[in-house]
Amino acid sequence: MASHQLINNAKQIASQSPVIEVLGLRKDYGGVAAVAGIDLTVAEGEFLSILGPSGSGKSTLLGLIAGLVQPTGGRIMIGSRDVTLVPPAQRDIGLVFQSYALFPNMTVAGNIAFPLAVRGANKRDMKARVEWVIDLVRLNGLENRKPSQLSGGQQQRVAIARAVVFGPRLLLLDEPLAALDRKLRDEVRVELRRLQRTLGVTTVLVTHDQDEAMSTSDRIAVLAQGLIQQIATPAELYRQPANRFVAGFLGIANLLEGVVAREGDDAVLTLDGGMKLPLPSGNALPGSRATMVVRPERIDLKPATDARTSRFGIDCEVVDVVYHGEVVRYTVQAQPIGTVIASCQHVVPRFSPGDHVCITWRPEDGWLLQESEK
């Protein structure tokens, strides 16, 4: 999805009533906070991803919302209802696990119908509802197969169909694509986003996969050490990270440290070695230490002889070249700033290790971190 569409979606969602409100939520294990006092709101129809490394507290947070984990403190609201101590079966949620948790002795249709059966649906309504959701997740013709007769992607779609067939207000997904290979994971996440848009169901996805979160979400909450480091649209997180952790966790980030100074009307970052780099316009306080983020794809790589044609240029030596199909990723070493990664789609000529080159970027393509790391 284009970044402007994601931002427009986020604006529309922000004006809608919340489905989930998490207030001061905390979970301690043996005196250690897995979730350390989180406030979070998820709007009606929103697709929110909770993204973080292993041990960040993301699965614990989802378990708290689902009712599978009891909180140490705080409150959980679904709609206007306080569900903090309400059992999972009474929270009106659909839940999909990484392991799928399908019943091996039941057919596809039987697995999908199970939530309707336990809710006492009559056979006619159950049949119609199962047929509708099988068509929705594109499992037509597989109704009578057992889970062992299905591919991983098909099993995942059965698990998703079972989670939405009864029309829950909230869909929770715990690393649902982790067991799939990369190609299949890409295909299923496109289907997942299509399904979420079709149903309009509020969805919370837990994942450690940055690509998965960036490609599916209206907003992403980045977790570390049980705290939300930043919550924003994918484009905002990537372009304007709140701190070093967010910058480094979402893709590759070149981090340049120095002291902010003024040169006439322009702001510059003076590195410890004395080199001055132009800063984007902003409210940076002269004299303060700061870190600038420059993403690899924003860096231009040129022959060293072209340095004079740029507003500024840094002489470097190429130390590594990795071909990634659409892009070539260069690792360069510059005495004033250390190692820098540049991702280039069209580089003429193509460089090799040992070549001397010049790197440069537009001032507006840098981002000055405004907050210290949490």
Cα separation, 149 vs 179, whole angstroms? 17
- CA separation, residue 137 to residues 93, 121, 163, 240, 295 (Å): 19, 21, 12, 36, 37
**Domain limits, the chain:** 3-248, 252-368
The predicted-structure confidence for 249-275, as pLDDT tens digits, reads as follows 998 999 999 999 888 778 889 888 788
pLDDT band at 6 (very low <50, low <70, confident <90, very high): very low
| Matching CATH number, 252-368, of 2.60.120.260, 2.40.50.140, 3.80.10.10, 1.10.287.180 | 2.40.50.140
pLDDT at 36 over 60: yes
The yes or no reply on domain 3-248 and CATH 3.40.50.300 is yes
Summarize pLDDT for 101-139 with one digit per residue, the tens.
899 999 999 999 999 999 888 989 999 999 999 999 889
- Residue 147: is the preceding peptide bond cis (ω within 30°)? no
Distance of alpha carbon 372 from alpha carbon 253, whole angstroms: 16
Residues of the chain with pLDDT > 90: what percent?
Answer: 59
CA–CA dist 119, 116 (Å, integer): 5
Taking the C-alpha atoms of residue 135 and residue 206, their distance in angstroms, rounded to an integer, is 26
Instruction: Band the pLDDT of 86: cuts 50, 70, 90.
Output: very high
Most confident of 152-156, 234-238, 255-259: 234-238
What pLDDT does residue 294 have? 95
The pTM score is 0.87
Question: Sorting pLDDT into bands at 50, 70 and 90, what band is 3?
Answer: very low
Q: What is the mean pLDDT of residues 280-287?
A: 74
Q: Which helix (H) or strand (E) holds 195?
A: helix 182-199
Given pLDDT bands bounded at 50, 70 and 90, which one contains residue 13? very low
Quick one: pLDDT at residue 73? 95
Most confident of 37-46, 332-341, 362-371: 37-46
Quote the longest CA-to-CA distance of the chain: 78
